[in-house]
Amino acid sequence: MKVFLLEPDGELADSMDVYLNSLRLKMKIKKVKNEEALFAEDVSLLPTYALFILNLKNPVDPTIMHYLREHGVDVPILLIIESTFDTKDFKTLYYLSYDDMIVKPFTPQEIAFRIYKLCDIWNDDTFFVTKDVYFDFKHAKFVNRDEEVILGRKEALLLKLLFMKSHHVVSSHEIEYYVYQDEAVSEERIRSLIRQLRAKLLPFHFIETVKGEGYKIIDTKIEEPSSVKEVSRSAIMSGLCLPWLPLADCSLFLL
């Protein structure tokens, strides 16, 4: 996936690049520091980008957006706004129809969620642990062969987030943004949600606490029937495991 990033703050641009490429989808990010570099880009290459992230000198000037659209760019444009931006001009930005905006300061994790949402990357609905054990996000249920466990809305969102970032650590800040829609919540409230979810998923134990960092999905610790183990082995041999999972972790795969 190719991304064009116009951001004068080189340190921020680099941190975004590093974080985004630590997730399951690798991104080739073209980083520039000024608008002149955007205009210098070969116009034939502009439509090859999947996303434009722009920090413009004058966000209410639609010149660059029109330039991109006129040269065949029909992908999302995410606008980065400086903290000094005059709030009365947000109405103008709204009518310019940028696909999304984010105001500084923000963390790489925050902008990652916006990027994945804009590019429709986190749109998976079914996550398989084994052939007969899986999480159906659309219907908010965890299926263990013939048994179904119904999850609450926040429980389902949390489990989806953990599966989407399998096997990376999900921070409390990310949970706050994705599950609670950026509502300010305490660490104890998040821990309580984790406990609720773990209790519902028993006898599976694949949500691990990483002290000082957050939570992550690990390989299930329940003993599976030999037929299920055989499915996992055959999946590995046939190449069904996705490239963003280490080979050793292929007993947990996503369809």
Domain span at residue 167 reads: 126-254
167 and 238 share one domain: yes
Q: What is the CATH number of the domain that holds 95?
A: 3.40.50.2300
Q: What is the pLDDT of residues 38-65, one digit of tens each?
A: 999 999 999 999 999 999 999 999 999 9
28 and 78 share one domain: yes
- What total of structural domains would you count in the chain? 2
131 and 112 share one domain: no
Give the CB-side neighbour count of residue 4, counting CA atoms within 13 A.
24
Find all residues with CB under 8 Å of 81, minimum gap 6, and list them.
Answer: 55, 59, 93, 101, 102, 103, 104
Strand bridging mode 2-6 / 147-150: unpaired
Q: Copy the structure tokens of residue 53.
A: 């992230």
212 and 93 share one domain: no
139 and 210 share one domain: yes
Report the pLDDT value the prediction gives residue 245, as an integer from 0 to 100: 35
Q: How far does Cα 80 stand from its chain's mean position? A: 18
137 and 242 share one domain: yes
155 and 199 share one domain: yes
- Please say which residue of 118, 145, 175 terminates a domain: 118
Report the pLDDT value the prediction gives residue 122, as an integer from 0 to 100: 56
92 and 131 share one domain: no
169 and 64 share one domain: no
Strands (E), the chain: 2-6, 28-32, 51-54, 77-81, 100-103, 126-128, 133-136, 141-144, 147-150, 207-210, 214-217, 253-254
- Please say which residue of 118, 136, 164 terminates a domain: 118
111 and 141 share one domain: no
Report the pLDDT value the prediction gives residue 7, as an integer from 0 to 100: 97
- Please say which residue of 84, 118, 152 terminates a domain: 118
Report the pLDDT value the prediction gives residue 178, as an integer from 0 to 100: 87
Q: What is the CATH number of the domain that holds 198?
A: 1.10.10.10
What distance in Å separates the CA atoms of residue 172 and residue 185, rounded to the nearest whole number?
9
100 and 152 share one domain: no
One digit per residue, the tens of pLDDT, for the chain of length 255 reads 899 999 999 999 999 999 888 876 788 999 999 999 999 999 999 999 999 999 999 999 999 999 999 999 999 999 999 999 998 898 888 888 888 999 999 888 888 878 887 876 655 577 877 778 888 888 999 999 889 999 999 999 999 988 877 767 889 988 998 899 878 889 999 999 999 999 999 888 889 999 989 999 886 544 443 333 333 333 323 333 333 333 333 334 343
What stretch of H or E contains 14? Answer: helix 10-20
